[in-house]
Amino acid sequence: MTAPAIVLIGPMGAGKSSIGKKLARVLGATFTDSDGLVVRDHGPIERLFAEGGEERFREIERLAVAEALGRGGVVALGGGAVLHPDTRSDLAAHRVVLLTVSEQTIASRLAGTTRPLLQGDDPVGRWREVAESRRELYDQLADARFDTSTGRIQDIVDAIAAWAQEETS
Ligand code: S3P
């Protein structure tokens, strides 16, 4: 059996991709981003939402998540990937890290965002609604939690790496 992946979950803008990339480097592991696989196979996420809606995106995303988890190493999931029940059951076999971020911090991270779910007059308000609606799911799935609102990104990466190494020792 392949080793469990370290899977980063959490709301949009929590830093899953940027932290995941650095974490993989520290651990000497591969890094896979589920959104990256979606784009590789189907083109821009904005276009997918525009053409097929969120439902179609979730079907495509599910296949990308299965591929990403199968690769092992460090995996970053799109914020809504946990909405799929098959993904939630798959995560039981992996080590799941929830990244959180405060509303104060998210505002600057979302400036100019092209994420389809955050379009409109009030991206931060939309972000809050979406994050709130998933909070319970994230909490149930998480084996560990790290907040990315403040501090150096490398310190957060090192803290996650220390947790992961403790888990396997
Ligand atoms: C989404 C999050 C995005 C991307 C898509 C939908 C969501 O990924 O998958 O825009 O539903 O939370 P990030 O969490 O990497 O922004």
Element at 74 (helix H, strand E): strand 74-76
Contacts (Cβ under 8 Å, ≥6 apart) of 122 = none
How far is Cα 164 from Cα 36, in angstroms, rounded to an integer?
24
Q: What is the DSSP string of 12-65?
A: TTS-HHHHHHHHHHHHT--EEEHHHHHHHHH--HHHHHHHHHHHHHHHHHHHHH
Looking at ligand 1, which residue's alpha carbon is closest to its atom 4? 78
pLDDT digits (tens, 9 = 90+) for 78-98: 999 999 999 999 999 999 999
pLDDT at 50 (0 to 100): 97
Whether the model clears a pTM of 0.85, i.e. scores above it, the answer is: yes
Q: Tell me which residues have their CB closer than 6 angstroms to ligand 1.
A: 12, 16-17, 35, 45, 78-80, 115-117
Which residue, by CA, sits nearest to atom 8 of ligand 1? 78
Expressed in angstroms, the distance from the first to the final Cα of the chain is 18
Cα 22 to Cα 158: distance, rounded to the nearest angstrom = 9
**pLDDT tens column, 121-143:** 999 999 999 999 999 999 999 99
Contact 64, 37 (CB under 8 A): yes
Dihedral sign for Cα atoms in the order 137, 94, 32, 39: negative
Q: What is the pLDDT along the chain (169 residues), one digit of tens a residue?
A: 467 999 999 999 999 999 999 999 999 999 999 999 999 999 999 999 999 999 999 999 999 999 999 999 999 999 999 999 999 999 999 999 999 999 999 999 999 999 999 999 999 999 999 999 999 999 999 999 999 999 999 999 999 999 999 877 6
CB atoms within 10 A of CB 22: 20
